[in-house]
Structure 1
């Protein structure tokens, strides 16, 4: 395994998967809540949704990618040269696709495809705000919920979920566990941390 591959740049491997014409990458800490199949029909080589701050940067938790060995090799050749503001692949990809914010509309995914939990915390229930109104509610149905901040819902084992979004994760987890058990698949038992 190459040193770059062990250093937080593993997402770059997506571009090597040239047996596929298009890929939709979803981080492991995302919960897909509605179909995102329509992302495969976007006419673009690269697409991402905006990050919380600054909005002209993207969050690499959900990506639409047209694999290309040429792009992959170009990225690898720039690892030691190109700046990564976070020391990992998200910062590197933002430097590599520095013009993402000005690319065509197909390259900019709506927030609902990578709804960052941080944005929920920042926009819910502000003083003087009408009930039920927030940026979060205005974006429409969230298709992919991204638990990109800490603590992760699964880190709160056997504790009451902290909020509405964490409850969504626990419901999805419980439904999955039940479905697996009905099919006779053994699932690990959660134990209290401590």
Structure 2
């Protein structure tokens, strides 16, 4: 019998977990402010659309109002209130361009969700295009993670990005279709520094209280002043030499479509990640520039959500709509 998940057969590192029973597993995202509510709702809707068999847990901080939490619960998500997590004052700062990353340290609290054996942590600015439940069965040591590499091309030449972020040092540059789907970038001692970096939009992990304590201690005892991207730089440093690279399709950064055309195929995208400051719900239709077609993928899911919520949850929809560019 063929596998229900095609990549399970082709990716040597994805093998069923050796568990007597199916693991308790969940997709998890973080919501710290109301203006990301459309993103979280579309992420959840897309998981349902592709037939995901595991719930979406939304970690919400005290900054999120009860009205937002009620909408999430009514849509069938599991809501978990968590405290903000951030380093000591004065130990880390962000450029004005990246101020939005200030909340992302709190994503690390996914390691505290010990009611689950396996968690796939996803950013709220993502849409799932194909079922990827196989990540729940990925063979992974308890104190390890799996993720997709960063794209270190720096196409917009942002001056505050690391100087070694150039195409020649990007782990995706040598990748080509179709082998990029079965053989993600390999890290060796001779690899350029960016090869050791991950993008934390998709992170596969096994929650553990002792592991979270170690990560928490690392956050407060390590020099993090040079971290450009809070949680993902910390994860790359903490798990250096101990994380499994995943193929690009599980965290398909929207910029990869234009930068790494030899690797990208629209039909192979499992999870599309709308990186950069402007999110698809913050951009009016036909004003998405180079990313207009990809924004349409998000809006297609959003319109299906609208059709459901306008009749079933009129008050909730009014709040969602207030956070969308029309």
- Per the alignment, residue 120 of structure 2 pairs with 24
SS at match of 1:94: helix
Does 2:249 align with 1:112? Answer: yes
Does 2:238 align with 1:96? Answer: yes
TM-score with structure 1 length normalisation?
0.80
Unaligned runs of 5+ in 1: 125-133
SS at match of 1:80: helix
Unaligned runs of 5+ in 2: 1-82, 88-101, 153-169, 172-194
Using the alignment, how far apart are the partners of 1:69 and 1:4 within structure 2? 18
SS at match of 2:86: helix
Using the alignment, how far apart are the partners of 2:273 and 2:199 within structure 1? 10
Alpha carbons of 1:140 and 1:58: their partners in 2 closer, same or farther (altered >3 Å)? farther
TM-score with structure 2 length normalisation?
0.49
SS at match of 1:52: coil
**Aligned 8 A contact 1:48 1:64 in 2:** yes
- Aligned residue pairs total 178
Using the alignment, how far apart are the partners of 1:39 and 1:173 within structure 2? 25
Does 2:212 align with 1:72? Answer: yes
Using the alignment, how far apart are the partners of 2:200 and 2:263 within structure 1? 21
Using the alignment, how far apart are the partners of 2:130 and 2:223 within structure 1? 35
- Per the alignment, residue 202 of structure 2 pairs with 62
Does 2:180 align with 1:40? Answer: no
Alpha carbons of 1:165 and 1:7: their partners in 2 closer, same or farther (altered >3 Å)? closer
**Aligned 8 A contact 1:157 1:190 in 2:** no
**Aligned 8 A contact 1:29 1:147 in 2:** yes
Alpha carbons of 1:7 and 1:80: their partners in 2 closer, same or farther (altered >3 Å)? farther
Deviation at 1:191, TM superposition (A): 8.7
**Aligned 8 A contact 1:83 1:92 in 2:** no
- Which deviates further from its counterpart, 78-87 or 19-28? 78-87
- Per the alignment, residue 50 of structure 1 pairs with 149
Using the alignment, how far apart are the partners of 2:233 and 2:104 within structure 1? 10
**Aligned 8 A contact 1:51 1:58 in 2:** yes
